[in-house]
Amino acid sequence: MTGILTEDALYKKSPQEITALLYEACLTYLEEAIENINNKDFVIANKKLQKANDILHRLGAGLNYEAGIIADQLDALYNYMADKVVEANYKKDPKIIEEVIKALEPVAMAWNEALKKKDNPASTGARQKAMAYEKNILMDEK
């Protein structure tokens, strides 16, 4: 993996940032597994694919089902990808891993874009105005 996070640094991350890190780690494990399979390092590939599968299950477990249909769709996608990772591991087939990467990359990119917009000062200002408005409304109700 590209960088090692200390436990302290990890605790300072928001849940959204941790999700972004999970996507990155999963993609890294999948890409490394392809290399390992191509190099006939099947034991190492097995470990990488198991880690990728574990991440996909953790992503599914972390879904907020109150978010509506998108959570159900992500759950189905994560389960599909996890099944494909198991199949790829069994068959030691890089093409199946590439299929999973192609499915996961757009999700990871969309997540990272949403994180950028969340951290955008313009959207933060609008959110602060809305929160001030809501706070005002709540004060008026008392």
**pLDDT over 50 (residue 137):** no
Q: Is residue 18 part of a domain?
A: yes
What whole-number percentage of the chain has pLDDT above 90?
61
What confidence tens digit (pLDDT) does each residue in 17-45 have? 999 999 999 999 999 999 999 999 999 99
Q: Is residue 47 part of a domain?
A: yes
Interacting residues of 18 by C-beta distance below 8 A, sequence separation 6+: 10
Q: Is residue 19 part of a domain?
A: yes
Q: What is the dihedral of CA 27, 24, 53, 96, to 10 degrees?
A: -20
Contacts of 36-39 with C-beta under 8 Å, sequence gap 24+, read: 37/92, 37/93, 37/94, 37/97, 38/94
Q: Is residue 17 part of a domain?
A: yes
Cα–Cα distance for residue pair 18/61, rounded to 1 Å: 14
Query: Domain count of the chain?
Result: 1
pLDDT value for 67: 83
Q: Is the pTM of this model over 0.85?
A: no
Structure confidence at residue 1 as a pLDDT band (50, 70, 90): very low
Q: Kindly report the CATH number assigned to the domain that includes residue 49.
A: 1.20.120.340
For 35, 51, 74, 117, the CA distances from 86, given in Å and listed in that order, are 17, 11, 18, 35
**pLDDT over 60 (residue 51):** yes
The domain of 41 spans 13-141
Q: Is residue 1 part of a domain?
A: no
First-to-last CA distance in the chain?
A: 53
**pLDDT over 60 (residue 123):** no
Q: Is residue 81 part of a domain?
A: yes
